[in-house]
Structure 1
Amino acid sequence: MLGDNLYLVLLIAGVGILALVVNYVVTTREQESEARRERLDWLQTQAEHTLNALAVLKETGCRQDIVDKLNQHAMALIEEISLLAPDSELMTQVSDLKETSDRTRPDKTRLNSDRAVKRAQIYINFAEKLLIQMAKAGKMTGQLARTYQEELYWLNVSLVADAHRHQATRLLEMGDKHTALTHLKHAKAVLVRATAPQRQKKPKLDEIQASIDGIQPRRNYGAGALAESLDDYLNEQP
């Protein structure tokens, strides 16, 4: 009788331990599956944003070394997706997006609408933040990241100024000089306000000013009394 009870106790204990082991295995697998799903969601978002940013940078003629650095990051994301979900629909979608990005060539004429310009600005800003994150992760030096950040800032400024110039050209062809002049002045203001070296801004500013003068020639108010006095003074010097 005592042996039977002991056997029953051991059997119950064994079943309990087995249940705990099964529950642990199931719970662990569920946690791993959830972690894998969350990681894939993050990888999908990062890969799509990075590849779209690469396409925009190529369209706008960004420096090749910046494009190469971001392309390396995109490839690392795609490789991880291929390990976690090699035959998934996600892998197919990301591969297609990568091919589209690889085929993209410089073409600023595609940025001919406010929507296109805003979209480009969003992805340039994303690229700028991503480079800083990459520097923090040790994938490049902080100094290089800051240099790239300055390049992308200027690219963003140039993008807006060039979009206004493009609009002005189109409006001039339609005979709308007044609105064209407004766009050119907006382009000039964008460049003037930009926190970039004057030597970097000057070529574009000169081109825009020439276009403005072509529509609205500058008024000649004369040298003025002060200028005449300075001229007389300088002429008297030996």
Structure 2
Amino acid sequence: MLGDNLYLVILLAGVGILALVVNYILTTREQQSEARRERLNWLQTQAEHTLSALAILKETGCRQDIVDKLNQHAMALIEEISLLAPDSELMTQVGDLKETSDRSRPDRTRFNSDRAVKRAQIYINFAEKLIIQMAKAGKMTGQLARTYQQELYWLNVSLVADAHQHQATRLMDMGDKHTALSHLKHAKAVLVRAGVPQRQKQPKLDELQVSIDRIQPKRDWGAGALADSLDDYLNDSP
């Protein structure tokens, strides 16, 4: 009788231990599966945004070293996706995006509408934030990251100015000089406010001023310092 009870106790203990082991394995697998899903969702978002940003940067004629650095980041994301979900629909989608990005070429004519410019700005801003994250992760020096940030900032500014200039040209061809002049002055104001060295923006400012003067010739106030000052003020006003 005592032996039967002891056997029963051992059997129950064994069943309990087995149940705990099975529960632990199932719980661990669920946690791993959930962690994998979360990681894949994050990788998908990052890869899609990075590849879209790369396409925009290539179309806007961004510096090649910036493109190369972001492309390295995109490849690392794709490689991790291929390890976690090699035959998944996600891998196919990301692969298609990568091919589209690789085919992108400089083409500023794509950014002549407000919608296209806004979309480009979103991805340029994303690229700028990504550069900061990469620097914090030790993937580039802080100095290089600041240089890239300045380049992306100027790319953003010049993109907006160029879009206004294109609109002005189109409106001039339609005979709407007043609205064209407004676009040119907006472009000039964007450049004047830009926080970059004067030598960097001066060529574009000079080009815009020629177009503005063609529509609105400088007034002849006669000789004198006061007249010159007034003339400069009127031309510099956005």
Question: TM-score, normalised on structure 1?
Answer: 0.94
Q: Distance in 2 between matches of 1:176 and 1:218?
A: 20
Find the residue that maps to 2:196 and give its secondary structure.
coil
How much does 1:220 deviate?
1.4
Count of aligned pairs: 228
| CA distance in 2 between partners of 1:226 and 1:115 (Å) | 44
**Secondary structure of 1:223's partner?**
coil
CA distance, structure 2, for counterparts of residue 176 and residue 167 of structure 1: 11
In structure 2, relative to structure 1, the CA distance for the partners of 1:128 and 1:226 (3 Å cut) is closer
Q: Which residue of 2 aligns with 1:82?
A: 82
1:174-200 Cα offsets, whole Å, 9 max, x none, are: 111110000000000000000110000
Bigger-Rg structure (1/2): 1
Alignment match, 1:193: 193
Following the alignment from structure 1 to structure 2, what is the Cα–Cα distance between the partners of residues 98 and 64?
A: 17
> Aligned letter for 2:215?
I
Output the amino acid matched with 1:118: K
Work out the CA distance in 2 between the residues paired with 1:138 and 1:220: 59
Matched residue, 2:235: none
How far is 1:201 from its partner?
A: 0.7
The residue identity in structure 2 corresponding to 1:175 is G
Match of 1:203 in 2: 203
State how 1:152-163 maps to structure 2 within 5 Å.
152-163=152-163
Deviation, structure 1 residue 58: 0.4
How far off is 1:226 after superposition?
6.1
Name the CA distance, whole Å, in 1 between partners of 2:56 and 2:227: 49
Pair 1:219-2:219 in alignment: yes
Looking at structure 2, the residues matched to 91 and 143 of structure 1 have their Cα atoms a distance apart, in angstroms, of 35
SS of 1:196 mapped into structure 2: coil
- Secondary structure in structure 2 of the residue aligned to 1:140: coil
Which residue is 2:44 aligned to? 44
Does the 8 Å contact 2:221/2:227 carry over to 1?
no
* One-letter amino acid of the structure 2 residue matched with residue 97 of structure 1: L
Structure 1 residues 226, 179: closer, same or farther in 2, change over 3 A? closer
Correspondence for 1:231: none
Amino acid of the structure 2 residue aligned with 1:83: L
Equivalences for residues 7-46 of structure 1 within 5 A:
7-46=7-46
1:52-76 CA-to-partner distances (Å, cap 9, x unmatched) read: 0000000100000000000000000
Q: After TM superposition, list the pairs within 5 Å mapping 1:1-238 onto structure 2.
A: 1-224=1-224
Q: 1:109 and 1:179 mapped to 2: Cα distance?
A: 20
What letter is aligned with 2:54? L
Q: Deviations over 1:105-155 (max 9, x none)?
A: 000101111110000000000000100110110100000000000000000
| Sequence identity percentage | 88
- When normalised by structure 2's length, the TM-score is 0.94
* Structure 1 unaligned blocks of 5 or more: 229-238
Residue aligning to 1:233: none
Structure 2: how far apart are the matches of 1:90 and 1:186?
43
* Separation in structure 1 between the aligned mates of residue 60 and residue 15 of structure 2, nearest angstrom: 67
